[in-house]
Structure 1
Amino acid sequence: MHNMKRVLLVITITLLCCIQAIARQATWIWYPGDFEVWLGNKMQNRRTERGSFLPPFWKLDSHYNLIDFHKVFDLKEAEEADLFVEGEYNVKIDGKALFGYPKRISIPAGKHRISLKVFSQDRVPAIFVRGKQVVSDSTWLVTFEDKEWIDQTGKVSDQSATVWLNAGNWNFNDPAAAPSKFRLPVQPMQPAASEKTSDGTLYDFGKETFGFIKLNGVEGSGTVAIYYGESREEALSKDHGETIDRIDVNFKEKRDTTIQLSKAFRYVQVVPSTGVKLAPVSMLYEYADVKDRGSFTCSDNQINKIYDVAKYTLHLNTREFFIDGIKRDRWIWSGDAYQSYLMNYYLTFDSPTVTRTLLALRGKDPVTSHINTIMDYTFYWFLGIYDYYQYTGDKTFIRQFYPRMQSLMDYCLSRRNANGLMEGLPGDWIFIDWADGLSKQGEVSFEQLLFARSLETMGICADLVNDKTNAAKYKELSADLRTKLFSYYWNDSKQALVHSRVNGRQTDNVTRYSNMFGIFFNYFTEAQKQGVKKNVLLNDKIQKITTPYMRFYELEALCAMGEQPLVLKEIKDYWGGMLKLGATSFWEEYNPNKKGAEHLEMYGRPFGKSLCHAWGASPVYLLGKYYLGIKPTSPAYATYVVEPDLGGLAWMQGTVPTPNGKIELYCSTKQIKVKSDEGNGTLRFKSAKKPVSKNAAITDKGAGIYEMTIGKGKEYTVNL
Structure 2
Amino acid sequence: MKIQLILISLFLTVSLSAQQRDSRVREYLPPVRIVWQQESGLIRGADHLLLPGNGQSDLANRTICKMTSTDKQHPAILLDFGKELQGGLQIVTGMPASHEPVAIRVRFGESVSEAMCEIDGVNGATNDHAMRDFTIRLPWLGVMEVGNSGFRFVRIDLLDDSAELHLKEVRAISTFRDIPYKGSFRCNDERLNKIWQTGAYTVHLNMQEYLWDGIKRDRLVWVGDLHPEVMTVNTVFGYNEVVPKSLDLIRDITPLPEWMNGISSYSIWWLLIHRDWYYYHGDLVYLKEQKPYMTALLRHLISKVDADGVEKLDGNRFLDWPSNANPMAINAGLQALMVQAMKAGNELCTVLGENALASECQAMMEKMVKAASKVTKPLLKSGVAPDAPGSKQAASLLTLAGLMKPEEANRKYLSVNGAKGFSTFYGYYMLRAMAAAGDYRGAIDVIRQYWGAMIDLGATTFWEDFNMEWLPDASRIDELVPAGKKDIHGDYGAYCYKGFRHSLCHGWASGPTSWLSEYVLGVQVVEPGCRTVRITPHLGDLEWVEGTFPTPYGIITIRHEIGVDGQVKSRIDAPAEVKIIQ
For the superposition of Structure 1 and Structure 2, which TM-score range results when normalised by the shorter chain? 0.7 to 0.9
Contact persistence 2:553–2:575 (CA under 8 A) = yes
Q: Tell me, yes or no, if the aligned pair for 1:220 and 1:249 is still in contact at 8 Å.
A: no
Residues 99-129 of structure 1 deviation map (CA, whole Å, 9 limit, x = unaligned): 72575xxxxxxxxxxxx99996xx9x84xxx
- Kindly indicate whether residue 385 of structure 2 is the aligned counterpart of residue 511 of structure 1: no
Whole-Å separation in 2 of the counterparts to 1:583 and 1:289: 22
* Corresponding residue for residue 100 of structure 1: 6
Task: Report the secondary structure of 1:264's partner residue.
Answer: strand
Task: Give the CA deviation at 1:346.
Answer: 1.0
User: What is the Cα deviation at residue 654 of structure 1?
Assistant: 0.6
- In 2, are the aligned partners of 1:287 and 1:319 still within 8 Å (CA)? yes
After superposition, give the CA deviation of every residue in 1:407-429 in whole Å (9 maximum; x if it has no partner). 3334434444565543353xx22
**Are the aligned partners of 1:555 and 1:567 in contact in 2 as well (CA < 8 Å)?**
yes
1:560 CA displacement: 2.4
Equivalent residues of 2:198, 2:460 under 8 A apart: yes
Q: Give the equivalent residue in structure 2 for 1:265.
A: 151
Q: Are 2:305 and 1:434 equivalent residues in the alignment?
A: no
Q: Who is 2:462 aligned against? A: 586
CA 1:214–1:521: 2 relative to 1, 3 Å = same
The structure with more helix, counted as a fraction of residues: 2
User: In the alignment, is residue 256 of structure 1 matched against residue 138 of structure 2?
Assistant: no
Partners of 2:330 and 2:37 in 1: CA distance: 57
Task: Give the secondary-structure state (helix, strand or coil) at the position aligned to 1:631.
Answer: strand
The one-letter code of the counterpart of 2:126 is: E
In 1, are the aligned partners of 2:310 and 2:383 still within 8 Å (CA)? no
Asked if the contact 2:310–2:335 (Cα under 8 Å) also holds between the matched residues in 1, the reply is yes
Gap change, CA 1:117 and 1:627, over 3 Å in 2:
farther
Match of 1:632 in 2: 525
Cα distance change, pair 264–366 in 1 and its aligned pair in 2 (3 A): closer
Deviations 1:591-612 (A, max 9, x none): 1221321444324742121111
1:22-171 correspondence runs (5 A)? 100-101=6-7, 126=17
Name the CA distance, whole Å, in 2 between partners of 1:666 and 1:443. 40
2:516 corresponds to which residue? 623
Kindly indicate whether residue 433 of structure 2 is the aligned counterpart of residue 557 of structure 1: yes
- Match in the other structure for 1:717: none
CA distance in 1, matches of 2:444, 2:510: 15
Q: Return the letter of the residue paired with 2:192.
A: I
d(CA) in 2 for partners of 1:255 and 1:406?
Answer: 57
CA distance in 2 between counterparts of 1:577 and 1:647 reads: 20
Query: CA separation of 1:347/1:364 partners in 2, compared to 1, >3 Å: closer, same or farther?
Result: same
Structure with larger Rg = 1
Aligned to 1:246: 134
**1:200 Cα offset (Å):** 1.6
Give 1:395's match in structure 2, choosing from 281, 284, 291.
284
Partner of 1:450: 337
Paired with 1:276 and 1:238, the residues of 2 have a C-alpha distance of 24
Change (3 A) 1:638 1:506: closer
**Residues 277, 394 of structure 1: alpha-carbon distance in 2 compared, 3 angstrom cutoff:** same
Equivalent residue, structure 2, for 1:345: 234
Q: Shift of the alpha carbon at 1:306?
A: 1.6
Does residue 408 of structure 2 align to residue 531 of structure 1? yes
How far the C-alpha of 1:442 sits from its partner, in A, is: 9.8
C-alpha separation between the residues in 1 aligned to 2:150 and 2:463? 13
CA change 1:367–1:590 in 2 (3 A) is same
Name the residue aligned to 1:110. none
Q: Do the aligned residues in 2 keep the contact of 1:310 with 1:619 (CA within 8 Å)?
A: yes
Asked whether the 8 Å contact 1:511–1:536 carries over to 2, the reply is yes
Q: 1:436 to 1:450 in 2, by over 3 A?
A: closer
User: 1:421 and 1:292 mapped to 2: Cα distance?
Assistant: 43
* Superimposed CA distance per residue, residues 175-226 of structure 1 (whole angstroms, 9 cap, x where no aligned partner): xxx7523352111111112242253211111121111111221763353221
Are 1:648 and 2:541 counterparts? yes
Match of 1:188 among 25, 28, 36: 28
2:380 aligned to which of 498, 502, 510: 502
- Structure 2 distance, partners of 1:540, 1:619, is 19
Is 1:483 the counterpart of 2:381? The answer is no
8 A Cα contact 2:308 2:371, kept in partner: no
Structure 2: gaps spanning 5 or more residues: 40-74, 475-485, 564-568
Aligned to 1:669: 562
The residue that corresponds to 2:60 in the other structure is none
Show the counterpart of 2:493. Answer: 602
CA distance in 2 between counterparts of 1:341 and 1:213 reads 29
**d(CA) in 2 for partners of 1:586, 1:250:** 34
SS in 1 for 2:397: helix
SS in 1 for 2:493: coil
Shift in alpha-carbon separation, 1:361–1:247, aligned structure 2, 3 A: same
Find the aligned partners of 2:325 and 2:230 in 1 and give their Cα distance: 27
Larger mean Cα displacement after TM superposition, 179-188 or 433-442: 433-442
Whichever residue aligns with residue 640 of structure 1, its letter is V
Q: SS at the partner of 1:593? A: helix
Q: Which runs of 4+ in 1 moved over 6 A?
A: 116-120, 505-508
Question: Structure 1 counterpart of 2:263, which letter?
Answer: I
Confirm or deny: 8 A CA contact 1:325 1:610 kept in the other structure: yes
Q: Distance in 2 between matches of 1:232 and 1:504?
A: 50
- Give the alignment partner of residue 215 of structure 1, picking from 88, 91, 94: 91
AA of the residue aligned to 2:432? E
SS in 1 for 2:327: coil
CA contact 2:110–2:504 (8 Å) conserved in 1: yes
Provide the residue aligned with 2:579 in structure 1.
681
Greater RCO, 1 or 2 (C-alpha within 8 Å, sep 6+):
2
- How many percent identity over aligned positions? 23
Deviations 1:675-718 (A, max 9, x none): 1114563443xxxxxxxxxxxxxxxxxxxxxxxxxxxxxxxxxx
Q: 3-state DSSP class of the match of 1:565?
A: helix
Q: Aligned pair in 2 of structure 1 residues 623, 216: CA closer, same or farther (>3 Å)?
A: same
Structure 1 residues 135-186: Cα deviation after superposition (integer angstroms, max 9, x where no partner): xxxxxxxxxxxxxxxxxxxxxxxxxxxxxxxxxxxxxxxxxxx752335211
Residues 398 and 464, structure 1, Cα contact 8 Å, conserved in 2:
no
Report the Cα distance in structure 2 between the residues aligned to 1:248 and 1:321, rounded to whole angstroms. 29
Which among 421, 441, 445 is matched to residue 569 of structure 1? 445
2: CA distance, partners of 1:632 / 1:613 = 26
- Greater share of residues in strand: 1
The Cα of 1:530 is off from its aligned counterpart by 2.7
In 1, Cα distance between equivalents of 2:19 and 2:550: 28
Query: Do 2:560 and 2:571's aligned partners in 1 also have CA atoms closer than 8 Å?
Result: yes
Distance 1:328 1:405, change over 3 A: same
Superposed displacement of residue 637, structure 1: 1.7
Q: CA 1:530 to 1:546, structure 2 compared with 1: closer, same or farther past 3 Å? A: closer
Q: After TM superposition, give the deviation of residue 341 of structure 1 in Å.
A: 0.8
SS of alignment partner, residue 113 of structure 2: helix
The alpha carbon displacement at 1:239 in A equals 3.0
Q: Secondary structure at the match of 1:180?
A: coil
Return the offset for 1:545.
2.7
What's the CA shift string for 1:271-311, capped at 9, x where partnerless? 23214624042121110122210011111121122222222
Per-residue deviation at 1:235? 0.5
Aligned counterparts of 2:19 and 2:487: Cα–Cα separation in 1 = 44
Deviation at 1:461, TM superposition (A): 2.6
Question: 1:646 & 1:529 partners in 2: Cα distance?
Answer: 19
- Rate the CA distance shift 1:459–1:351 in 2: closer, same or farther, 3 A: farther
The answer to whether structure 1 residue 200 and structure 2 residue 76 are counterparts is yes
Q: Deviations over 1:560-595 (max 9, x none)?
A: 222221112111111111111111111111112213
CA distance in structure 2 between the partners assigned to 1:609 and 1:250 by the alignment:
30
CA distance in 2, matches of 1:346, 1:556: 15
Q: 1:656: Cα distance to partner?
A: 0.8
Structure 1, unmatched stretches of 5+, are: 1-96, 104-115, 127-177, 492-497, 685-720
Instruction: Find out whether 1:226 has 2:110 as its counterpart.
Output: no
Q: Is the 8 A contact 1:227 1:235 kept in 2?
A: yes
Q: Do the aligned partners of residues 401 and 355 (structure 1) sit closer, same or farther apart at CA in structure 2, a change above 3 Å counting?
A: same
Residue 674 of structure 1 aligns to a residue in which SS? strand
Aligned-partner residue type, residue 165 of structure 2: K
Change (3 A) 1:367 1:284: same
